[in-house]
A and B are shown apart, each in its own frame.
Chain A
Amino acid sequence: MLDRPRAGDWKIVCAYTGKALIGVGALHALPLATALACAEWASLVDFLAGLGATMAAGCAMALLGKTERKPSWMHGMVTGGISWLAVMVMAAIPYWLSGHYLSYLDAMFDVMSGFTTTGLTLVQDLDHLSVSLNMWRHLLTFVGGQGVIVLALSFLVKDSAGGYKLYVGEGKDERLFPSVFHTAKAIWKISLVYLGVGAAALWLAGLSIGLGPARAFLHGLWIYMAAWSTGGFAPMSQNILYYHSGLYEALTLVFFIVGSFNFALHHAVWSGNRREIYRNIETVSFATTMSLLALLGCRGLQRLGVYPDAVSLFRKGFYHLASAHTTTGYMTLYPRQLALEWGDLALLAMIAAMLVGGSACSTAGGFKGLRVGIIWKAVVQDTRRLLKPSSAVFTQGFHYHGERSLGEQQLRSAALIVIMYVAMFALIAMAGTACGYPFLDAAFEAASVTGNVGLSIGVTSAAMPAPLKLVYILGMWAGRLEFMAVLATIAFVAAALRGKRR
């Protein structure tokens, strides 16, 4: 039986969750400034209310939890889990006050979808959202790509050893620098430099298709934010289809592919180690699985005669496959077209792509190319072992920021995460089927939720049953944090309720 947490344990979790809330509270400044600049007075009041409530809750928790104790691994994991739930509750205030959501649950669903870079949405009348509310939606998904804890670490957490435990609790474990603060700052630097480049490119693309300068800028900025963070939000309900532009599609493809790379890979390439990009096991695994699944998906579409030529196959089939594989969720189709036109083979390729996902320590979801690569190397190793004399000793290596040899521990943790993803996918698909949706539709949406993708076949809507919305929220949360923080949080709460007194 687990030991019941002491008051000191709660204090540490409370203090760091409070700091994450203060970080999210400070984020309200950007939509507030946007509301002021655009004279959106009703939205201004909504954001003031959100800012006040989030800051008050954050400061109260930080003060209540004030302690000299350093966080342990358990505290880091539990804080990772609880802080994502706390920011979901508080960041939903402006959404709910805007009147664009039917319930507070729907508003929280969209916040969790944004922060986890999923991109599913329950918003009403998306095409007529205020500029500041759109800024808030895209800001949440941009910050979520980097991580809520990374945000807090960058500005509010001073303890280096404890900071690393919080960082790992958020499902990231790559250190770009020995110091976790420098790592958090490097992640922000990479993201902000790319933000400037990407928003400028999409702004020019927007101008070229006839959008006005201000509108082209805002759309470029928002689409870039959601592409880089592999989020998939867009300011219009038709998503990328709204622009009817090959250039816009090509640019978003480039940005979400680059956004799905590991931050350690960006850092290595930016530091002059350019060969890493084609030697790294993750990029090799990503290119291989994407090619195989794209071929399978395009073959399925071709067999049904859905698209007449290679260009259409590329713009529809490959675009959506890449969008699924990078866990972005951008669409150039209506959701029901997937269900009614695409056929089983293409949809199965999409489901597999969504489950595999992008790179570890990136903005992407899924069980990640690194783990696919490690498991594949283990299969190769075992096959080689069968073909060699029993006395032969050899090691299987792989390239991941240097040459490494495959160890039992790496294989075990990779296999464990893949098993947990597949189990969660099965459970969420069962929940969808139990709510009356056809199995393939429920499975597609479950893969989208589990892998934090955001592509929808039409299941996700404000009209879906509330229990299914809850299941999807929990699925997005667990998928983003890669289970360990979620399991630690559940164990922590269970121990608080029924644990053994120390």
Chain B
Amino acid sequence: MSPYVSPRQVAERRQSGRRAAAGILVEGCFALSLLGLGYLLSLLAAAL
């Protein structure tokens, strides 16, 4: 296997890294929105 990494492969890896970072951000935001929903439900239960 050649140790040479072509510029195209480097660009693909960078893009894959950016997508993974964006994916982590999206999943984190989704989980945080569930936490926010949980807090609203706690407020609602406390007010009932």
Residues of A within 8 A of B (CB): 193-194, 197, 250, 253-254, 257-258, 261, 266, 269-272, 274, 277-278, 283, 287, 290-291, 294-295, 298-299, 301-302, 309-311, 313-314, 317-318, 321-322
Contact = CB atoms under 8 A, between A and B. Distances in A.
A254 B39 contact: no
Contacts of B31: 253-254, 257-258
Contacts of A250: 35
25 contacts: A193-B24, A197-B24, A257-B34, A257-B35, A258-B28, A270-B23, A272-B22, A277-B30, A287-B34, A287-B37, A290-B38, A294-B41, A298-B44, A301-B45, A302-B46, A302-B48, A309-B46, A310-B39, A310-B42, A310-B46, A313-B45, A313-B46, A314-B39, A317-B45, A321-B38
Interface of B: 19-20, 22-24, 26-28, 30-32, 34-35, 37-39, 41-46, 48
A119 B27 CA distance: 24
B24 to A, nearest CB: 6
A386 B19 CA distance: 46
Contacts of B28: 254, 258
Contacts of A311: 42
Interface SS majority for chain B: helix
A298 B44 CA distance: 9
A274 B31 CA distance: 14
A272 B28 CA distance: 15
A257 B42 CA distance: 18
A266 B27 contact: yes
B19 to A, nearest CB: 5
Nearest to A250: B35
Contacts of B22: 272, 274
Given A302-B48, A310-B39, A274 B32 contact: no
Q: Name the residue among A194, A261, A298, A311 with the largest chain B CB count within 10 angstroms.
A: A298
B46 A258 contact: no
Contacts of A299: 45, 48
B37 A314 contact: no
Contacts of A274: 22-23, 26
A261 B42 contact: no
A302 B45 contact: yes
Contact of B20 (A254, A270, A277): A270
B43 to A, nearest CB: 4
Contact of A290 (B20, B30, B34, B39): B34
A313 to B, nearest CB: 4
B45 to A, nearest CB: 3
Contacts of B20: 193, 270
Given A271-B23, A299-B45, A309-B46, 9 more contacts: A193-B24, A254-B28, A258-B28, A266-B23, A277-B26, A298-B42, A310-B43, A311-B42, A313-B45
B27 A253 contact: no
B45 A272 contact: no
Given A302-B46, A309-B46, A318 B38 contact: yes
A314 B38 contact: yes
B35 A253 contact: yes
Nearest to B32: A254
A261 B24 CA distance: 12
